């Protein structure tokens, strides 16, 4: 038997054993196939930043046609719902403190009088800023609605005075790639990348640590099996499972969430496989430093959290301090996020994505070889 | 193959300052059942790990199946089988799947594996249990399967590390039948154990204590040459008191419990032994301790083992 035949025989034996064990372990089976789908579905619904049905508390002291017109503009936009109407500013405060409302609108007495007199009238808006990102968005929506109302009023006033109303600057806005600015179209591809990373890293590390935990690795290392054969046999099943997961998760994104996949699935599949070199490598690395499955789980979590935060999936990397921005260059997920989002939303091809793909390949190969050599030392 | 299947010369292994194995010399002959004895922590497992090519010696050398353990560990691993005291097969695989798996790992292609598997099943008596999930087997059957898997590639030498720990006596006997069966076919057996009755059944023995080989030879040789003095066995209803009195008597050294009995070693010349026995009986009677039975007996391996350990301990000034 040539050494290549021997290699194949052993790799196949380990991979087959791994599949048999997986088939008999409902918990692992669940993690492998159901968890990604459930995670993507949950995150897909939860991870939206869309401004929709924001609860508003109103203190309308004017009770006039003008004040009703302003409030009408706010609610008819569809972004805001008037939750309650209260008599005093103090009640507005309590409402926001209690979390019943996120926005308070206070219309002082005399709004209509001032408008009719041609004087500047005032409206106060109060926004709960505890979620800064969301508050910023809410503020700009609110500002736009009220400013539009003000422009309308001034147009009316101008035509009454015999002027032809006109706007000196007209903005022609076009939003590309995501015309309706649905945050889900942007978030789901990001979550797609996260789910893949978590599943392949955790499954790989657990599968190897399980052998240590149960003592079965002892029987393996007295055999003439080579570390590379062991690693290849161990990783092959999880690579295959991850590839199946890619397909499943893409299907959920496209058919359930109706996220348009503008680019090619083949390219997405290929580059995901490339990304998996880094996650399988990471899983292998974790397995060399853990002795029990719990340890492996804990270390995975500790590593995955900062990776996610620094990957740009949640907040743009451009907003991070410059030092941190450089640091994110070391995080493979960062490149994969760009790749996944570009393929989904922009339909980008290799001509645009090659630098990210190249970075991913470099990281994948280095990380993978590193973990393999470390694994070799640990086991040999 | 020339020479002995296992040959170790001045094998030594340190862990930091701790000497786990101290200049051990060993030779195991073709087809014998070699018993490697010693209390826990004596260096048994470290020695076995070195011989299996898993651990490099700090100094000294050894050959296993003619291959150097330091420079040809892969050849060593190919020529040996290993069965650990902890069950280390896959408990979520069936009997048959475990055999297939280890067969493939040892490079047995599927064409040959079918017939080899049938032989293993027959050898271990696992017929009818081929499709049982391993975790459902009793401890005794698990050990037989583990043995079967470790000889799937027909190794020249089989290392068994406390193979019968925690196995009921019936299964132990069946297991040893299996060991003899394989030895008769020419496979060399290297067994570590601390069951003395098992040691009596070995072709040859090595005693290891504090990392040193303190005795080796056939059980008979060891009994003849390594036992200094004569053993007096005492049966009494007040063993604790009797033990104290015997320890104070100048004619006896190394007094210890042996189950419910007391074993005392006397260094008296053979012709003076009856007189010593009489004086012990008299002394006990004076203290009001009834003697049910007192007699000299041939030493068991356990007696010798205890004696060797006591000699070794008294020699070490530390």
A47-88 per-position pLDDT tens digit: 666 778 899 999 999 999 999 999 999 999 888 999 999 999
Q: Is residue B306 part of a domain?
A: no
Tell me: do B11 and B65 sit in the same domain.
Answer: yes
For the stretch A201-238, what's the b/e string if a residue is b when 16 or more beta carbons lie within 10 angstroms of its beta carbon?
bbbbbbbbbbbbbbebbbbbbbbbbbbebbbbbbbbbb
d(CA B213, CA B93): 40
Q: Count of CB atoms within 10 A of residue A380's CB?
A: 10
Tell me: do A64 and A207 sit in the same domain.
Answer: no
Q: Is residue B309 part of a domain?
A: no
Tell me: do B269 and B142 sit in the same domain.
Answer: no
Tell me: do A232 and A346 sit in the same domain.
Answer: yes
- Closest residue in A to B90 (Cα–Cα): A216
Q: Is residue B171 part of a domain?
A: yes
Please say whether the beta carbons of B1 and B65 come within 8 A: yes
Contact B84 A1 (CB under 8 A): no
Q: What is the pLDDT of residues A96-154, one digit of tens each?
A: 998 899 999 999 998 889 988 888 889 999 999 888 878 888 998 999 999 988 888 88
CATH number at residue A150: 3.40.1710.10
Mind telling me how many Å the CA of A226 is from chain B's nearest CA?
9
Last residue of a domain, one of A99, A126, A160: A160
Q: What is the pLDDT of residues A176-233, one digit of tens each?
A: 877 777 778 888 888 889 888 988 898 889 888 999 888 898 889 899 998 889 888 9
Show the domain range for A233.
3-47+182-379
Tell me: do A201 and A92 sit in the same domain.
Answer: no
Q: Is residue A175 part of a domain?
A: no
- Closest residue in B to A210 (Cα–Cα): B90
Mind telling me how many Å the CA of B67 is from chain A's nearest CA?
14
Contact B84 A12 (CB under 8 A): no
Contact A223 B84 (CB under 8 A): no
Show the low-confidence residues of chain B (pLDDT under 70).
1-2, 316-318
B177, B306, B203, B180: which is closest to B254 by C-alpha?
B306
Three-state secondary structure call for residue B209: strand
Model confidence at A379, pLDDT cuts 50, 70, 90, reads low
Give the rounded percent of residues in chain A with a pLDDT score beyond 90.
Answer: 39
Tell me: do A291 and A361 sit in the same domain.
Answer: yes
Q: Which of B73, B87, B92 to mutate to test the interface with A (most CBs of A within 10 A)?
A: B92
Q: Is residue A173 part of a domain?
A: no
Q: Is residue B193 part of a domain?
A: yes
Tell me: do B205 and B263 sit in the same domain.
Answer: no
Q: Is residue A176 part of a domain?
A: no
Three-state secondary structure call for residue B177: helix
Mind telling me how many Å the CA of A210 is from chain B's nearest CA?
11
Please say whether the beta carbons of A233 and A259 come within 8 A: no
Tell me: do B23 and B158 sit in the same domain.
Answer: yes
The phi and psi torsions of A211 (rounded to 5 degrees) equal: -65, -35
The residue behind tokens 């109302």 is: A149
d(CA A282, CA A290): 12
Residues in chain B with CB shorter than 8 Å from the CB of A232 are none
Contact A225 B104 (CB under 8 A): no
CA A140 to chain centre: 23
Tell me: do A34 and A64 sit in the same domain.
Answer: no
Of A9, A216, A224, the CB nearest to B104: A9
Q: Is residue A100 part of a domain?
A: yes
Tell me: do A267 and A135 sit in the same domain.
Answer: no
CATH number at residue B239: 3.30.70.100
Task: Tell me: pLDDT of A371 over 90.
Answer: no
- E-assigned strands of B152-203? 157-161, 188-193
Tell me: do B55 and B85 sit in the same domain.
Answer: yes
pLDDT of residue A380: 47
Contact A216 B88 (CB under 8 A): yes
CATH number at residue B105: 3.40.50.300
Residues in chain B with CB shorter than 8 Å from the CB of A5 are 109
Tell me: do A322 and A224 sit in the same domain.
Answer: yes
Last residue of a domain, one of B219, B251, B277: B219
Q: Is residue B311 part of a domain?
A: no
pLDDT of residue B1: 44
The residue behind tokens 């926004």 is: A127
pLDDT of residue A188: 85
Residues in chain A with CB shorter than 8 Å from the CB of B87 are 215
Q: Is residue B81 part of a domain?
A: yes
Q: Is residue B304 part of a domain?
A: no
Q: Which residues contact A42 (CB under 8 A, 6 or more apart)?
A: none
The phi and psi torsions of A330 (rounded to 5 degrees) equal: -85, 0
Mind telling me how many Å the CA of A24 is from chain B's nearest CA?
7
> How far is CA B201 from each of CA A128, B37, B187, rounded to the nearest angstrom?
84, 13, 16
Please say whether the beta carbons of A303 and A278 come within 8 A: no
d(CA B198, CA B306): 16
Q: Is residue A368 part of a domain?
A: yes
Q: Which of A12, A16, A17 to mutate to test the interface with B (most CBs of B within 10 A)?
A: A17
Tell me: do B96 and B163 sit in the same domain.
Answer: yes
Q: Which of A11, A208, A213, A222 to mutate to test the interface with B (most CBs of B within 10 A)?
A: A222
Tell me: do A344 and A214 sit in the same domain.
Answer: yes
Please say whether the beta carbons of B40 and B208 come within 8 A: no
Contact residues of B toward A, CB < 8 A: 52, 54, 74, 77-78, 80, 82, 84, 86-93, 97, 100-102, 104-107, 109, 133, 149-150
pLDDT of residue B28: 94
d(CA A351, CA A361): 16
Q: What is the pLDDT of residues A27-39, one digit of tens each?
A: 888 888 998 899 8
Tell me: do A80 and A225 sit in the same domain.
Answer: no
Contact B84 A219 (CB under 8 A): yes
Contact A13 B78 (CB under 8 A): no
- Closest residue in A to B159 (Cα–Cα): A222
DSSP string covering A249-307: HHHIIIIIS-----S-HHHHHHHHHHHHHHHHHHHHHHHHH-SSHHHHHHHHHHHHHHH
Q: Is residue A12 part of a domain?
A: yes
Per-window interface: A 15-74 vs B, CB < 8 A? 16-17, 20-21, 24-25
Tell me: do B131 and B267 sit in the same domain.
Answer: no
Number of folded domains in chain B? 2
Tell me: do A299 and A224 sit in the same domain.
Answer: yes
Q: What is the pLDDT of residues A217-270, one digit of tens each?
A: 888 989 999 888 988 899 899 889 988 998 998 999 899 988 889 999 999 999
As given in the structure block, the two tokens for residue A316 are 């743009």
Q: Is A118 left (phi over 0), alpha (psi -120 to 50) or beta?
A: left
Tell me: do B215 and B288 sit in the same domain.
Answer: no
d(CA A45, CA A43): 5
d(CA A192, CA B7): 59
Q: Does A377 touch chain B (CB under 8 A)?
A: no
Last residue of a domain, one of A127, A160, A193: A160
Tell me: do A64 and A100 sit in the same domain.
Answer: yes
Tell me: do B237 and B202 sit in the same domain.
Answer: no
More confident residue, A47 or A299: A299
Tell me: do B232 and B293 sit in the same domain.
Answer: yes
Contact B105 A1 (CB under 8 A): no
Q: Count of CB atoms within 10 A of residue B59's CB?
A: 10
Tell me: do B174 and B93 sit in the same domain.
Answer: yes
d(CA A145, CA A128): 18
Of B54, B86, B109, the CB nearest to A222: B54
Model confidence at A377, pLDDT cuts 50, 70, 90, reads low
> How far is CA B19 from each of CA B12, B41, B59, rounded to the nearest angstrom?
8, 11, 11
Helices (H), chain A: 3-23, 26-29, 35-46, 65-76, 89-98, 111-116, 132-160, 183-214, 216-221, 227-251, 265-289, 293-310, 322-328, 332-341, 350-379
Contact A20 B93 (CB under 8 A): yes
Q: Is residue A362 part of a domain?
A: yes
Tell me: do A333 and A349 sit in the same domain.
Answer: yes
B170, B120, B117: which is closest to B140 by C-alpha?
B170
Q: Is residue B108 part of a domain?
A: yes
Q: Count of CB atoms within 10 A of residue B69's CB?
A: 27
Show the domain range for B121.
6-219
Contact B92 A222 (CB under 8 A): no
Contact A223 B74 (CB under 8 A): no
pLDDT of residue A362: 92
Tell me: do B211 and B271 sit in the same domain.
Answer: no
Q: Is residue A167 part of a domain?
A: no
Number of folded domains in chain A? 2
Of B52, B74, B90, the CB nearest to A216: B90
């Amino acid at each position: 038997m040539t050494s290549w035949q021997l290699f194949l025989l052993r790799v196949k034996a380990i991979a087959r054993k791994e599949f048999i064990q997986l088939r008999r372990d409902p918990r692992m089976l669940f993690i492998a196939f159901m968890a990604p789908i459930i995670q993507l579905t949950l995150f897909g619904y939860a991870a939206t930043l869309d401004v929709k049905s924001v609860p508003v508390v109103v203190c309308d002291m004017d009770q006039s046609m003008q004040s009703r017109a302003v409030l009408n503009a706010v609610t008819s936009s569809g972004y805001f719902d008037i939750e309650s109407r209260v008599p005093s500013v103090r009640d507005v405060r309590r409402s926001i403190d209690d979390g019943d409302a996120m926005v308070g609108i206070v219309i002082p007495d005399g709004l209509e009088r001032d408008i009719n007199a041609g004087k500047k009238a005032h409206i106060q808006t109060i926004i709960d800023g505890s979620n800064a990102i969301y508050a910023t968005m809410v503020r700009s929506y609110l500002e736009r609605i009220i400013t539009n109302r003000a422009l309308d009023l001034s147009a009316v006033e101008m035509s009454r005075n015999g002027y032809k109303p006109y706007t000196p600057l007209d903005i022609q806005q076009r939003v590309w790639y995501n015309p309706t600015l649905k945050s889900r179209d942007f978030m789901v591809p990001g979550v797609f990348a996260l789910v893949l990373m978590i599943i392949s890293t955790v499954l790989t590390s657990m599968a190897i640590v399980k052998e240590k935990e149960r003592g079965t690795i002892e029987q393996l290392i007295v055999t003439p099996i080579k570390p590379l054969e062991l690693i290849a046999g161990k990783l092959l099943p999880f690579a295959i499972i991850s590839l199946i997961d890619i397909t499943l998760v893409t299907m959920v994104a496209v058919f359930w969430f109706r996220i348009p996949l503008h680019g090619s699935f083949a390219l997405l599949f290929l580059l995901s496989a490339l990304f998996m070199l880094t996650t399988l490598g990471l899983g292998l690395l974790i397995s060399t430093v853990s002795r029990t499955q719990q340890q492996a789980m804990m270390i995975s979590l500790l590593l995955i959290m900062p990776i996610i935060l620094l990957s740009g999936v949640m907040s743009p990397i451009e907003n991070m301090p410059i030092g941190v921005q450089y640091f994110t260059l070391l995080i493979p997920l960062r490149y994969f996020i760009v790749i996944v989002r570009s393929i989904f939303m922009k339909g980008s091809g290799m001509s645009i994505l090659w630098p990210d793909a190249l970075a991913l390949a470099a990281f994948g190969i280095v990380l993978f070889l590193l973990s393999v050599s470390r694994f070799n030392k640990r086991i040999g | 193959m020339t020479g002995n299947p296992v040959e170790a010369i001045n094998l030594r292994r340190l862990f930091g300052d701790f000497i786990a194995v101290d200049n051990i010399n060993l030779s195991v002959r073709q087809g014998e059942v070699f018993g490697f004895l010693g209390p826990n922590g004596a260096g048994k497992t470290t020695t076995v790990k070195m011989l299996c090519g898993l651990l490099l010696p700090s100094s000294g050398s050894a050959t296993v199946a003619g291959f150097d353990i330091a420079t040809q560990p892969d050849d060593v691993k190919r020529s040996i089988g290993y069965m650990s005291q902890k069950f280390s097969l896959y408990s979520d695989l069936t009997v048959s799947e475990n055999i297939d798996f280890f067969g493939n790992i040892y490079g047995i292609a599927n064409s040959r594996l079918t017939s080899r598997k049938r032989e293993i099943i027959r050898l271990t008596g696992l017929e009818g249990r081929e499709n049982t999930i391993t975790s459902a087997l009793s401890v005794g059957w698990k050990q037989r399967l583990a043995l079967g898997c470790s000889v799937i590639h027909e190794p020249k030498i089989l290392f068994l590390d406390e193979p019968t720990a925690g196995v009921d006596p019936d299964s132990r006997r069946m297991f040893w039948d299996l060991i003899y069966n394989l030895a008769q076919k020419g496979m060399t057996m290297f067994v570590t154990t601390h069951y003395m009755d098992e040691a009596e059944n070995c072709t040859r023995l090595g005693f290891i204590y504090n990392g040193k080989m303190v005795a080796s030879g056939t059980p008979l040789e060891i009994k003849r040459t390594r036992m200094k003095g004569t053993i007096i066995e005492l049966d009494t209803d007040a063993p604790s008191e009797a033990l104290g009195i015997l320890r104070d008597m100048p004619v006896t050294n190394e007094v210890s419990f042996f189950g419910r009995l007391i074993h005392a070693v006397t260094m008296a010349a053979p012709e003076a032994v009856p007189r010593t026995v009489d004086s012990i009986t008299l002394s006990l009677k004076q203290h009001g301790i009834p003697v049910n039975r007192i007699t000299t007996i041939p030493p068991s391996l356990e007696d010798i083992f205890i004696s060797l350990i006591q000699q070794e301990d008294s020699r070490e000034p530390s």
